[in-house]
């Protein structure tokens, strides 16, 4: 019985690790996700516009990979990466297109 429990725990931990993925894209906001910031210009730069949209319009931080848009579960950390290309490591909920963020790192 003990071996069965240990085996099930091992399988469960492995299946959780398999769901972790890395996504590359630009941290932007849900207001300007596909249109860009050229027309909104709520700040002199894209990063400032992203932060302004979040604060003024109640938008959410998202990751845009050039094709798809993903909501980021962490809405605090992305602020320092606003308007920048990043890699987000986390688990994707395919139904809601939300990434449960483990980490965000800038793309050099």
pLDDT digits (tens, 9 = 90+) for 35-60: 665 565 667 788 998 999 899 888 99
- Residue 94 CA to its chain's centroid (Å): 13
* Interatomic CA distance for residues 78 and 60, integer angstroms: 10
What's the angle, vertex CA 108, arms to CA 80 and CA 45, rounded to 5?
45
Which pLDDT tens digit goes with each residue over 2-13? 554 445 455 555
> Distances in Å between the alpha carbon of 71 and those of 5, 23, 27, 97?
36, 12, 10, 6
32 pLDDT band, cuts 50/70/90, is confident
CA distance 14 to 75: 28
- pLDDT for 5 equals 44
pLDDT in tens, 63-105: 999 999 999 999 999 999 999 999 999 999 999 999 999 999 9
């Amino acid at each position: 019985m003990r071996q069965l429990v240990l085996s099930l725990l091992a399988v469960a931990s492995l299946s959780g690790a398999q769901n972790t993925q890395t996504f590359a894209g630009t941290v932007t906001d849900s207001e300007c996700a596909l249109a860009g910031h050229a027309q909104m210009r709520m700040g002199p730069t894209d990063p400032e516009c992203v932060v302004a949209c979040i604060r003024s319009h109640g938008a959410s931080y998202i990751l845009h990979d050039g094709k798809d848009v993903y909501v980021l579960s962490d809405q605090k950390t992305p602020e320092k990466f606003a308007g920048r290309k990043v890699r987000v490591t986390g688990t994707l909920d395919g139904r809601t297109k939300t990434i449960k963020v483990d980490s965000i790192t800038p793309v050099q």
